[in-house]
Amino acid sequence: MHIIQHIPELRSQVRTWRDGREEVGLVPTMGNLHGGHMTLVEEALERSDRVVVSIFVNPTQFGPEEDFAGYPRTFERDCELLADAGVDVVFAPSVEEMYPDGGGLRTVVDVPALSGILCGATRPGHFQGVATVVAKLLNVVAPDLAVFGRKDYQQLMVIRQMVHDLNLPVQVVGAPVAREADGLAKSSRNAYLQEDERARAPALHEALRDAGARLAEGERDYAAVEAAGRAALAEAGFEPDYFRIRRPGDLGEPSGDEEELVILGAGWLGRARLIDNLAVRL
């Protein structure tokens, strides 16, 4: 496995693969890899001949009060995991490599319809930072496909919309949420949980499942189901951010004739902001 830090070297490696008609998959990450990331890597390995995993803690998607500086960085261990999995290249650019003009980008990618709601309501600028860095990574690597986790459902929708609107020649693959045995969605931020918080954290997934069961049984009072979800989170010690039932494609409010919905929840548990979601067939 090669570790590449510079864009020209990465491009030349990908060009060589392409010349040999090999398909290239990209898994963009911020490192601190866990089992959830590894399912994305497996998906990419299955679907493509060559796999690049990028490790880049992207400063532009963190708000000024957020955990950019303290975000867990475990580069060596990440590389061991990726080498064992059979990844071809780790692309690990510096901040200067990705933002050579001191972070002051004059061009950004914004997906306004999807970026101000749900997580975007309390994290202004977050999805613009994500869309911009993912557009840059897709331009740098030029993969045939890129794999993202469905745990970050809104992020996946923002990226799908961007790829569609900008005609980017890449297939976006959404991989299922990887969970711990007790249902907690795997996330780098789970490491912030104290022992008692970790014990309470599966309440988010349980609240989503309870809401999903009510919808599947025919309940259509969405506001009541959302309120019950929020209350369940608060009861478990979360500071709820949102608990919403939305259309899966555009995250709009359901109109009543949907065959599928997605329930999305987010909340703070101590230092950790946890998010999760559940798709429901009606």
Shortest separation between residue 36's beta carbon and ligand PAF, angstroms: 10
Q: Which residue from 58, 132, 154, 277 is in contact with ligand PAF, where contact means CB under 6 A?
A: 58
Q: Does 52 bind ligand PAF (CB under 6 A)?
A: no
How many residues bind ligand PAF, per CB under 6 A? 10
Task: List alpha helices for the chain, DSSP H.
Answer: 7-19, 35-47, 75-85, 95-98, 112-115, 119-122, 126-141, 153-165, 195-200, 203-216, 222-235
DSSP letter string, 94-128: -HHHH-TTTT--S-----HHHHSSTHHHHSTTHHH
- Residue 126 is a catalytic residue: no
Q: Does 140 bind ligand PAF (CB under 6 A)?
A: no
Q: Which residue from 43, 88, 144, 152 is in contact with ligand PAF, where contact means CB under 6 A?
A: 152
What's the Cα-to-Cα distance from 94 to each of 23, 64, 172, rounded to whole Å? 26, 20, 25
Q: Which residue from 10, 24, 25, 28 is in contact with ligand PAF, where contact means CB under 6 A?
A: 28
Q: Which is nearer to ligand PAF, 50 or 150 (CB)?
A: 150
Shortest separation between residue 110's beta carbon and ligand PAF, angstroms: 15
Near ligand PAF in 155-214, by CB under 6 A: 155
Stretch that binds ligand PAF, among 7-15, 24-32, 250-258, 267-275 (CB under 6 A): 24-32
Q: Does 130 bind ligand PAF (CB under 6 A)?
A: yes
Shortest separation between residue 59's beta carbon and ligand PAF, angstroms: 10
Tokens encoding 244: 């919403």
The burial class, CB within 10 Å (0-12 / 13-18 / 19+), for 255 is: exposed
- CA 77-179-46 angle, to 5 degrees, is 65
Q: Does 128 bind ligand PAF (CB under 6 A)?
A: no
Residue 259 DSSP one-character state: S
Q: Does 277 bind ligand PAF (CB under 6 A)?
A: no
Q: Which residue among the candidates 2, 34, 37, 126 is catalytic per the annotation?
A: 37
Nearest-angstrom CA–CA distance, 125 and 63 = 7
Q: Does 33 bind ligand PAF (CB under 6 A)?
A: no
Q: Which is nearer to ligand PAF, 128 or 236 (CB)?
A: 128
Nearest-angstrom CA–CA distance, 161 and 154 = 11
Q: Which residue from 10, 45, 82, 134 is in contact with ligand PAF, where contact means CB under 6 A?
A: 134
Shortest separation between residue 131's beta carbon and ligand PAF, angstroms: 9
Rounded to the nearest 10 degrees, the angle between the axes of helix 75-85 and helix 35-47 is: 40
Q: Which of 30, 72, 36, 29 is nearest to 187 (CA)?
A: 36
| Direct distance between the N- and C-terminal alpha carbons of the chain, in angstroms, rounded to an integer | 45
Binding residues (CB under 6 A) for ligand PAF: these are: 28-30, 58, 61, 130, 133-134, 152, 155
Catalytic residues: 37
